[in-house]
Amino acid sequence: MDDNHGTVHASAHRRGLKVWFGTADDHTAREHYEAQLVRQDGEAALEIGFHAEHRDPAENEACIEYLMAKEMQWRKKLGQEAEAGSFLGMDSWRRISEIWEPPDPEDPEASIEVAARLADYVDAIEPLRVRD
């Protein structure tokens, strides 16, 4: 992960890890990166990527529209696996993320692969994310 993104903040929760940059205030954390276990079509899955979770749905939409205008830049690092759209189960939030099979808890390499992919999202999106 590039060191030029600013102050990093992280929060672990029962289902995963959330990372954001800037100040620790609530507003900044509304745009963040996350690796977390989710349910998709009734099945457990691992979601890795970027989230916009502002209270105002218009802010989330503006965030994703801004990033989609720069899609060619972030797509070079993330490839076609990254999907942009509504957050899984929360129509007012937005995401650029991908879904994996849940990792095997017995596989010592699994957490490294997840962390590396989360770092890919940070390095691809964070330099583009800040709007004037």
Tens digit of pLDDT per residue, the chain (132 long)?
445 667 888 888 888 999 998 766 655 578 999 999 998 888 999 999 999 999 999 999 999 999 999 999 999 999 999 999 887 777 889 999 999 999 888 998 999 999 999 999 999 999 998 766
Which of 71, 88, 89 lies closest to 80 in space, CA to CA?
Answer: 71
Q: What is the pTM of this model?
A: 0.89
Q: What is the per-residue pLDDT for 126?
A: 94
Measured CA to CA, the distance from residue 81 to residue 93 in angstroms comes to 19
Q: How far is CA 77 from the centre of its chain?
A: 14
At 82, is the secondary structure helix, strand, or coil?
coil
Nearest in space to 126 (alpha carbons), one of 19, 35, 16: 19
